[in-house]
Amino acid sequence: MKRRSVLITGATGAVGSELLRRLAQRPVSVNALVRRGDDRQAEITSILSGVPLAADLAVVAGDICAGPAMGLVPEAVASLTRHTTHIVHCGGSTSFSLPLGEARRVNVEGTRNVLEFARSCPLLESAAFFSTVYVSGRRSGTFAESDEGDGGFGFVNTYEQSKAEMEALVRAAMTELPILLLRLSTVVGDSRTGAVRGFNAVHQAIRLLYNGLAPMIPGDPGERVDIVSSDFVADAALHLIDNHPAGGVFHLATGAEASTLDDLIGSTVDSLLQFRPAWRKRSIERPLLVDLDTYELFVRSVEETGNDVLRSATRSIRTFAYQLAHPKLFETRKTFAALGGSGITPRPPLDFYPRVVKYCLESNWGMQQC
Amino acid sequence: MSLTETSVEMPKRRALTESPLVRGQSRSTSAGIAALAEYLPPRVATLSELAAEGLLSGSAETLASFGFGSVHLAGEESNLEMAVAAVEKLFVENDIDRDEIGLVLYATALSSSSTMWNAGSPRTTKVSPDSGAGSSPGKGSRLEPVLELNEVADLFRYPATQLQSELDLPNAAVIGINQLGCASIFAALRVARAMILAEDDLISVLCVSADKFPPSHKRDLIYNVVSDGACAALVRRGAARNRIVECSHVTKGALWDAGSLENEILAAYFPTAKSVIDRTLEKAGLTIDDIALVIPHNVSLRSWEILGRLIGCPPERVYTDNIRRVGHTVASDTLLNLRLAEESGRIKRGDLLLLFTFGYGLNWACMVVEH
């Protein structure tokens, strides 16, 4: 039986690093494509710290944006093409504030190059492409695994749009390649330790609340906010890659069991009080949940005042907060059915979310070693 | 300019709707704001004039877009002189017997107002047959501000007691209320009501507020434009007019340092304001729909647009008419607006009014009154 050979992109990211730690414990070949020029070797070493290595692991310097050869030297391209059986494409930009052209360059053109590479791999058994449930954009209501894109409602940020465009490419390739399209909910951290590798908008919102700079958020208290743990996403993704080579679209989300926005904010406040008791002295109020018009009026006022700190705070919230004005439920029926019997299920968010808040506090949002 | 020279047009007397209760009369369990008066310095400056004088740090256009137009600027008159002018107007217009006043609460917002720094003449208090307590100093008697601390006695000169002297209120004890920023007058009203209800022999409390901004300082403060002015209110036992129904006051000491915590203060404003208003209404057993008119402090119109939305109050039920014309008179806004709302006919007897203010320190205060 031929040995599995996995090419993984984005191995230093929030999800990629979890996948790498798991793949490294398997008797497979793993080629981690990291961006040339960055000191990613040290980062890979850090990610694999404490992991019992069973894989043949190689770190390959390249760039998914540098054409179909992905910036690899010809010998490396030839070797990878010849041996790769699985592609796990986590690479890309998760920034919400990139100009659309830059977001497209990384998320669309980068994916186009990975697809082109995939087409050249004769032994390819499976190619997993990571996307986001927020390709749904400004849609409201139930978003099923079979649904595509924003449905004409538009997008909240360039990340969503570029990922939706990326999905269109991937979907088109599904007829010729064994592709899994894995749409992730918002990954907030490890459910057991709370550890966060990639700090994102949720963590930024926690930080603004902690600093008393988040007076209001658009949204309805009862709407559901879908968050998932990085370990669930990694376990579920590998299970699907292992067991569903025929491919398909899956939602790695909490779905109907997602917490309400009100509960999530309440849990944030409770956690800050529990893990940083002195925070109580600051008497910071819970952010108000307001309608979109009120929020926009507030944002406009902040913009007009020219106050840099508040402007920066509202801008960082705006990049995702408008999503809260378009509540939706991410259907997970197909995914949960595919995971049936594996024991892999998303944990109730409020069971582990406090640990994530604690990690944010203790690491000072990644600035300090925990 | 001496205290007697404060140029105030002599107000016309008008009859109060209630007479003061006298000792021995059955004790009422309520108190209300029986009479109101204000003093605004005659000099008015527009935003462009303030900008031309270098008295704005931000853009006049932005401040105009926030609803400001002009402010009143004190000239030579001190904050204490403005206070006296407001009270004299109150007395004359409402035919108030000075002897009914058992307590003066002198509420000031600026630190300088609660010292003699801006109080005007620190006159020698020697009482001679020709210059009894409460008489005004002669022309030229004004001295320089006394906050020089050349002698220990400088630490014990207080504008609140000088006010009592100037107003000739021998039956009134005096308490200074300060360190609450623009919320100081609300604290005075709250204390007045509580003391009237607690002490059988206290019938009427005079609440006075006056602040004069340091003349050379920029007039825009966290996107509001500051005006000089004073207000006076008579809180009287059993007064049916402006009966104080309920009040709330929240202090967030963590945000005491206005200079270095401006961002946090701005961010805290709306959630806390909504919380204080909701709490006051709840304590009163009311909803915002029961309120005929919100009497605001004169801060940015935009901020009232936002706060109105947050508390579910449409703009037409927030009395913002004076923001553009008067600006933010520090602690005097809300009572000034209450008086002007009365005069304008916007409110009628029995209307429930919600008064709100916010002050550095950091304080949010809210009151429901039945007009």
What distance in Å separates the CA atoms of residue A218 and residue A326, rounded to the nearest whole number?
10
In the prediction, which pLDDT does B134 show? 33
Q: Please report which residue ranges of chain B form alpha helices under DSSP H.
A: 47-52, 60-65, 79-94, 159-167, 184-198, 262-283, 301-311, 323-326, 333-344
Q: Which residues contact B255 (CB under 8 A, 6 or more apart)?
A: A283, B261, B264, B265, B268, B362
Nearest residue in A to B220, CA atom: A305
Q: Among A127, A125, A68, A134, which Cα is nearest to A103's?
A: A134
Out of A215, A282, A291, name the one closest to residue B254 (CB).
Answer: A282
Q: String of b and e for B102-113 (b: at least 16 CB within 10 Å)?
A: bbbbbbbbbebb
Q: Which residues contact A208 (CB under 8 A, 6 or more apart)?
A: A214, A313, A316, A317
Q: Answer whether residue B273 shows pLDDT above 90.
A: yes
**Range with lowest mean pLDDT among A130-139, A147-156, B22-31:** B22-31
A148: left (phi over 0), alpha (psi -120 to 50) or beta: beta
CA distance A303 to chain B (A): 11
Q: Answer whether residue B61 shows pLDDT above 90.
A: yes
In the prediction, which pLDDT does A3 show? 79
Confidence of residue B129 (pLDDT cuts 50, 70, 90): very low
Q: Which of B66, B262, B270 to mutate to test the interface with A (most CBs of A within 10 A)?
A: B270
Bridge partners for A60 per DSSP: A33
In the prediction, which pLDDT does B101 show? 97
**Range with lowest mean pLDDT among A167-176, A219-228, B2-11, B292-301:** B2-11
Mean pLDDT, rounded, for B332-336? 95
The answer to whether the beta carbons of residues A20 and A48 sit under 8 Å apart is yes
What distance in Å separates the CA atoms of residue B237 and residue B38, rounded to the nearest whole number?
22
A5-184 domain in CATH 3.40.50.720?
A: yes
What does the DSSP 8-state code read for residue A326?
S
Tokens of A359: 């990690």
Q: Answer whether residue A42 shows pLDDT above 90.
A: no
In the prediction, which pLDDT does B225 show? 95
- Contact yes or no for A313 and B267 at CB 8 A: yes
Nearest residue in A to B256, CA atom: A282
What distance in Å separates the CA atoms of residue A173 and residue A116, rounded to the nearest whole number?
10
What distance in Å separates the CA atoms of residue A20 and residue A41, rounded to the nearest whole number?
13
Confidence of residue B26 (pLDDT cuts 50, 70, 90): low
Q: Answer whether residue A154 shows pLDDT above 80.
A: yes
Tokens of B220: 């825009």
> For the domain B3-127+137-237, what is the CATH superfamily, name and number?
Thiolase/Chalcone synthase (3.40.47.10)
Nearest residue in A to B269, CA atom: A215
Nearest residue in A to B272, CA atom: A285
What does the mean pLDDT of chain B come to? Answer: 85
The answer to whether the beta carbons of residues B207 and B139 sit under 8 Å apart is no
Q: Answer whether residue B204 shows pLDDT above 90.
A: yes
Q: Which of A207, A304, A308, A312 to mutate to test the interface with B (most CBs of B within 10 A)?
A: A304
Q: What is the pLDDT of residues B348-367, one digit of tens each?
A: 999 999 999 999 989 999 99
CA distance A307 to chain B (A): 8
In the prediction, which pLDDT does B353 show? 98
**Range with lowest mean pLDDT among A266-280, A307-321, B23-37, B271-285:** B23-37
CA distance B242 to chain A (A): 31
The answer to whether the beta carbons of residues A221 and A289 sit under 8 Å apart is yes
In the prediction, which pLDDT does A98 show? 93
What distance in Å separates the CA atoms of residue B254 and residue B21, rounded to the nearest whole number?
43
Give the residue extent of every domain in chain B: 3-127+137-237, 243-370
Q: Which residues contact B277 (CB under 8 A, 6 or more apart)?
A: B288, B311, B354, B356, B366
Residue type, B167: L
Cβ atoms < 10 Å from Cβ of A147: 19
Q: What percent of chain A has pLDDT over 90?
A: 81
Mean pLDDT, rounded, for A200-216? 93
In the prediction, which pLDDT does A198 show? 86
Give the residue extent of every domain in chain A: 5-184
What distance in Å separates the CA atoms of residue A336 and residue A328, rounded to the nearest whole number?
18
What distance in Å separates the CA atoms of residue A327 and residue A143, rounded to the nearest whole number?
10
Q: Which residues contact B18 (CB under 8 A, 6 or more apart)?
A: B34, B236, B238, B239, B240, B241
Tokens of A141: 């209501």
Q: Which residues of B touch A290 (CB under 8 A)?
A: 309-310
Q: Does the beta carbon of A287 lie under 8 angstroms from any beta carbon of chain B? A: yes
The pTM of the whole model exceeds 0.80: yes
Confidence of residue B177 (pLDDT cuts 50, 70, 90): very high
Confidence of residue A1 (pLDDT cuts 50, 70, 90): very low
Fold agreement (B3-127+137-237, B243-370): yes
In the prediction, which pLDDT does B24 show? 43
In the prediction, which pLDDT does B41 show? 97
SS3 for B167-209, per residue?
HCCCCCEEEEECCCHHHHHHHHHHHHHHHHHHCCCCCEEEEEE
Q: Answer whether residue B215 shows pLDDT above 90.
A: no
What distance in Å separates the CA atoms of residue B109 and residue A75, rounded to the nearest whole number?
77
**Range with lowest mean pLDDT among A22-26, A164-168, A316-320, B269-273:** A316-320
In the prediction, which pLDDT does B142 show? 43
Highest mean pLDDT among A32-46, A232-246, A315-329, B143-157: A232-246
Q: Answer whether residue B300 shows pLDDT above 90.
A: yes
User: How many CB contacts within 8 angstroms connect chain A with chain B?
Assistant: 70
Say which CATH class B243-370 falls into: alpha beta
What distance in Å separates the CA atoms of residue A90 and residue A110, rounded to the nearest whole number?
11
One DSSP character per residue, A33-86 reads: EEETTS-HHHHHHHHTTT----SEEEEEEE-TTSTTTTT--HHHHHHHHHH--E
Confidence of residue B27 (pLDDT cuts 50, 70, 90): low
Nearest residue in B to A309, CA atom: B263
Mean pLDDT, rounded, for A217-226? 92
Q: Residues 225..264 of B with a Cβ closer than 8 Å to A: which?
A: 252-255, 262-264
Q: Answer whether residue A320 shows pLDDT above 70.
A: yes
Give the containing element (helix H, strand E) for A319.
helix A308-324
Q: Answer whether residue B6 shows pLDDT above 50.
A: no
